[in-house]
Amino acid sequence: MGPWLALWVLLYLPRSLQGQNPHTPAAPSSVLQSFEDSKFQGEWFVLGLAGNTHTVADRSLLSPFTATFTINKNHLEVAYAMIRGQRCVTWSYKLISKSQPGMFSVDHSGEPGADPEEIQVTDTDYASFALLLSRRQSDLQSILRVSLLCRIWAIQTQLLGKFICLVRAQGLSDDNIVFPDLTDWSVLPRKC
């Protein structure tokens, strides 16, 4: 397959498979039949984000960042780290398992008035990539985010295709996709 045909397949085929109405968000499907917290643990690099509040103009605001998952007692904890200028920005929260494999509610118990949020790992091979779907309901709107996590600072074409398919299946467009600005990627978040 030539490079132009491969590009066409990557960009247009998922759109045609999406269904009759591209503006109707698909319900998250359980791609995972099981989920293993212990295999999911460790450091992940956030290499792609999409959401109904993101635009391509946000790219310059998004620095490369990491998500580190650890098991603490009976739940997963996730800690994020991002370099912003000369400072390190970190945030974290607990993920409480739900009955569906890979589905979690976010424990915002330390934040009064925080909006309810659910996170679903829709696909992962544990060793190289994971796709996460996050839904949060604020007073004014429903906030949807799709994240592409990788174990290394590189995106394989096949993973990019999976990410774009999930983004479009949620009723988002290519304009809602943001990739971190890797202009100065030598300063990795793990140095926080």
Which position has the higher pLDDT, 118 or 7? 118
Q: Is the pLDDT of residue 188 over 80?
A: no
Q: What single-letter DSSP state applies at residue 28?
A: P
Lowest-pLDDT choice from 26-30, 62-66, 104-108: 26-30
Work out whether strand 42-51 and strand 103-107 pair parallel, antiparallel, or are unpaired. unpaired
3-state secondary structure labels for all residues of 50-103: EECCCCHHHHHHCCCEEEEEEEECCEEEEEEEEEECCEEEEEEEEEEECCCCCE
Q: Is the pLDDT of residue 20 over 80?
A: no
Residue 112: the pLDDT is: 66
- The answer to whether the CB of 133 falls within 8 A of the CB of 28 is yes
- The answer to whether the CB of 171 falls within 8 A of the CB of 135 is no
Sorted by where each starts, the structural domains of the chain and their CATH numbers stand as: 37-179 (2.40.128.20)
pTM to 2 decimal places:
0.79
Q: Is the pLDDT of residue 24 over 60?
A: no
Residue 66: the pLDDT is: 92
Q: Tell me the average pLDDT of the chain.
A: 79
The residue to which tokens 């906030």 are assigned: 143
